[in-house]
Amino acid sequence: MKYHALALTTEYWKPGADYLSNIIDKLANRVCDADFVVISEKALSTALGNIMDESIVKAGFNAKIICHFWMRIVWGYILSVICHFGQRLTQRLRQYPLEAGCRHKQVALQKAGLLQALMWGSEGGIDGSNLPFSYVSLPLRNKNEVAETIRLEIWRKLKKKVCVIIVDTDKTYSLRNFHFTPRPKPAIGIYSLGGVVAYVLGRALKLRKRSTPLAVAGCRLQAEEALKIANIADRARGPGSGATVWDMAARFGVKVTEINWDMLAQIKHKPLVIVRKMR
């Protein structure tokens, strides 16, 4: 069984965007029965206003310890080697921004807990890439309901029976038939293990890694097939404005907190991918 993927370019979904209508418009005359419609969780969170401005957060003592010692020293000189990071990312970790970084770690501690806050990025699904200023997107609390709403809207407007999958670019690692991820609350069949522990283990052992399915509506999928489809969609979609907030800032030639909505609107965004089985 082979798969064909088509990434669809949409307007940038700002908070309050009518993403349902946008999805229907883009799928019209393209989607077929039994297709997989794969959608980025980050784009949905942004459209739903599930974002937070970290500039108003006051960092506590624990966040400052994580920022000054754990990020710059442990990640910068020890875990970066264990995890086989490249020189550019390693150097960025050694120069981890202190003021904005401490506020970010405070949010991670409050929203996701210690083991997630010890990650070097995307702590518990909290992510600042593809967002302006000091905003970060938060993980969807009702991801299954959102996926089902989208599936029903596609049936109601287009009369197509599809399977909707919400995914995150945070990786799931596979050890034969055992799939685990540092990301909390993945789809059924994938296990969330210990935040930073799972991440370091997966990277250190160089295990197979793929984007993480979070919710499935309209069909039943085994974890392996869901991971395969998520990975195909991720490769078709591309990195957007950048794989990390540092890449995003470098693309625009500004500081991380100086990116604005207009800059992001200039980029081709592909939060929506149709994946089709081809015999």
235/158 same-domain check: yes
pLDDT of the residue at 252: 83
pLDDT in tens, 15-73: 999 999 999 999 999 999 999 999 999 999 999 999 999 999 999 999 999 999 999 99
CATH number of the domain bearing residue 228: 3.30.1330.100
43 and 177 fall within a common domain:
yes
Residues 218 and 180 in one domain: yes
Interval 143-161: pLDDT, tens: 999 999 999 999 999 999 9
The span from the CA of 217 to the CA of 213, in Å, is 11
pLDDT at 253: 85
What is the three-class DSSP state of 195? coil
Q: Are residues 43 and 158 in the same domain?
A: yes
Diameter of the chain measured on Cα atoms: 57
Domain end (from 112, 137, 162): 137
pTM, entire model:
0.93
Phi, psi of 135 (to 5 degrees): -80, 145
Q: Which pLDDT score, from 0 to 100, does residue 243 have?
A: 64
123 and 215 part of one domain: no
Residues 70, 205 within the same domain: no
In a domain, 148, yes or no: no
Residue 53, beta-bridge partner list: 135
Phi, psi of 139 (to 5 degrees): -65, 145
Residue 172 and residue 44 share a domain:
yes
Between CA 4 and CA 229 the distance in angstroms is: 10
Predicted local distance difference test score (pLDDT) of residue 177: 93
142 domain-assigned: no
